[in-house]
Amino acid sequence: MALHADDSNGEIGGLAHELLALHADLCNAEPPNPTTLVEWLIDVRFGGSQDFWEPGIAAYTDALGPRGLFLLGERLNELEAALPPQTEAWDSPRHLIGHYRQRAAVASGDPDSRRSIHAN
């Protein structure tokens, strides 16, 4: 089933962002199992059913906690390892994974992890 809708006025996007913000607030108030949350974040962004909205990792920092941020990094490593060899200068899947990895590093508040990302 293809997802098609006219969002030329931005209303759908605005509602989606409000729902993602509400979801993050609820997760932070009553944190789910970090593994479950990480799998949801990965699935929403990389699951292939949509590519319009990206949950902001920083909004989930409290819910993820250090363990969840670690697990998120591990899942991103797994996704990247499963990609075929890079054949072109621009590699969209690697770019998306790198972008998510940057967001996780910022959310972690760990300056060393942010530096290591920018060094690559």
pLDDT per position as a tens digit, 1-49: 456 777 788 788 888 889 999 999 999 999 999 999 999 999 988 887 7
Dihedrals φ, ψ of 109, to 5°?
75, 10
**Length of the chain (residues):** 120
- In angstroms, the Cα distances linking 15 to 43, 52, 91, 92, 113 are 20, 12, 30, 26, 33
- In angstroms, the Cα distances linking 79 to 6, 13, 39, 72, 75 are 31, 27, 12, 11, 6
Report which residue type is found at 88.
Answer: E
Residue 117, pLDDT score? 46
Average pLDDT over residues 97-105: 91
For residue 101, give the nearest of 73, 75, 80 by alpha carbon.
73
pLDDT per position as a tens digit, 65-75: 999 999 999 99
- Residue ranges covered by each domain of the chain: 34-119
